Amino acid sequence: MATNDLNTKSADELKQHLLDLRKEQFNLRMQKGTGQLSQPHQLRRVRRDIARTKFVLGTKK
pLDDT band at 34 (very low <50, low <70, confident <90, very high): very high
**pLDDT at site 16:** 96
On the question of pLDDT at 1 being above 80, the answer is no
What domains are there in the chain, each with its CATH number? 9-60 (1.10.287)
**pLDDT at site 2:** 79
Query: What mean pLDDT do residues 4-17 have?
Result: 91
**Average pLDDT, whole number, for the chain?**
93
Query: What mean pLDDT do residues 7-25 have?
Result: 94
**With helix as H, strand as E and coil as C, how does 20-33 read?**
HHHHHHHHHHHHHH
